[in-house]
A = this chain, B = another copy of it.
Amino acid sequence: MRAVGIVGVGHTKFGRFTGSFLDMAASAAKEALDDAGVRPVTGHGIDQVFLASMGAGQVNKISGAASALVDTLNLRPAMAETVENGPASGASAVKLGYMAIASGLCDTVLVVGAEQMRVISGWEATDFVATMSHPEAEYPYGLTLPAFAGMFTRLYMDKYGVTEKDLAIVGVKNHENAMHNPVAHIKLVPNLYAITEDEDANVINPYVAEPLRVYHTCPVSDGAAALVLTALDSGREFNHKPVRIAGVGQATDTHVVAERREPTELFAVKESARRAYEMAGIGPEDIDVAELHDAFQILEIAESEEVGFFPKGTGHLAAREGKTRVDGEKPINTSGGLKAKGHPVGATGVSQVVEIVRQLRGEAGGRQVKGAKTGLTVNFGGFGNNVVSIVLTTRERG
């Protein structure tokens, strides 16, 4: 298979973006093109644009947004599609970029993830996100993603002894990491321990779906991230040595969460990671740094087990021991994760890859993992119904 690498990255500051959806997507894209050394105006050589977004149509009422982006960036007549896979849209677009190049139809592809979630109100955002649940068996009954996560957290607490403090440990770690990430949404470290143990916890940090509290969930963010992918055999010169996409794995699970035999097992996370490792010819022991999908802290714990970093039921113990900190043995969410960097849903999968590229290039500043050569991203669609895992490396092909 034709080898594919990443030669450019771009990322808006997550949080609130006051311009238009297209402005936001173009802003990240221009940064990635510039980072790669691609000049859009003169001989750009971008064959295809994939735009990942969950709400371009539903929230922003834009159809054909990818074509509009091509036009804004002056990349005509590049091919273009918008890709939607719930909150895993971003990694899906990276996968399609990989396929486009590996197929031989394209040499250089721009992948952009963009989501504008703060143009709607809080309850509208919760409703929008809930549209990723099953349209007939879940959504009409009022199930929201925090509700799923609340039930999942309770099961994990009962089965494995996870405590509220464990959730706080993961949250604080990610907030601390975000302090070193210029593009993170939240730049402060809330004292989640105090909040958790405080008698007034229900006032300061109320339940949104018991035992899940406000501070156990990610914020609602606007944001965009972008990548330039290229064939390693294209002979083109870029500003950066490529970070190779060594493995891409994806798997679907039952869409209806209640239909899973054991709801604490995230089959699609496990299977997508297994496929990505297999394609890369490596195992979890070879991963130096990982971005996992911590839309809720419990998911970082569960995913760290499913991808093979820690035995099932011990992810929270590893977090307690500091193993997942930047200086630990398996650094997770050095970017701040969805918890602190933010979670503009369609952008997240692309943003995760941006962070790993920065780590593997040694550009991560105060959150740099020393000597990182190989990284993993896990982008979680629905409540685990469609998950995409990607292995990136600066090591030579085995």
A20 partner, pick from B55, B70, B76, B136, beta carbons under 8 A: B136
Residues of B within 8 A of A78 (CB): 252
In the docked arrangement, what's the CA distance between A80 and B84, Å? 10
**A189 on the B face (CB < 8 A):** no
Closest to A96 in B: B96
Residues of B within 8 A of A56 (CB): 84
- When each residue 159-190 of chain A gets 1 if its CB lies under 8 Å from chain B and 0 otherwise, what string results? 00000000000000000000000000000000
Closest to A386 in B: B67
In the docked arrangement, what's the CA distance between A213 and B279, Å? 56
A252 touches B84 (CB 8 A): no
Residues of B within 8 A of A55 (CB): 57
Residues of B within 8 A of A86 (CB): 63-64, 67
Q: Which of A60, A62, A381: most chain B CB closer than 10 A?
A: A62
- Chain A contact residue count (CB 8 A cutoff): 66
A102 partner, pick from B105, B253, B386, beta carbons under 8 A: B105
In the docked arrangement, what's the CA distance between A64 and B381, Å? 8
In the docked arrangement, what's the CA distance between A176 and B250, Å? 46
In the docked arrangement, what's the CA distance between A70 and B1, Å? 26
In the docked arrangement, what's the CA distance between A67 and B250, Å? 11
Closest to A74 in B: B254
A83 touches B80 (CB 8 A): no
Number of copies: 2
Residues of B within 8 A of A252 (CB): 67, 70-71, 75-80
Considering the complex, which residues of chain A in the window 52-100 have a beta carbon less than 8 Å from any beta carbon of chain B? 54-58, 60-68, 70-72, 75-86, 92, 95-96, 98-100
Residues of B within 8 A of A131 (CB): 57, 61-63
A135 touches B385 (CB 8 A): no
B77 touches A271 (CB 8 A): yes
Min CB gap A226→B, angstroms: 18
In the docked arrangement, what's the CA distance between A5 and B153, Å? 46
B105 touches A99 (CB 8 A): yes
Residues of B within 8 A of A70 (CB): 252, 255, 386
In the docked arrangement, what's the CA distance between A65 and B131, Å? 9
In the docked arrangement, what's the CA distance between A256 and B57, Å? 18
| Given A67-B385, A67-B386, A81-B84, 9 further pairs, Cβ under 8 A | A57-B57, A58-B58, A65-B84, A67-B85, A67-B382, A76-B252, A77-B252, A98-B103, A102-B103
Sort A-B residue pairs by CB-CB distance and give the 8 closest, nearest first.
A102-B103, A64-B86, A57-B58, A71-B255, A77-B251, A67-B386, A103-B103, A79-B250
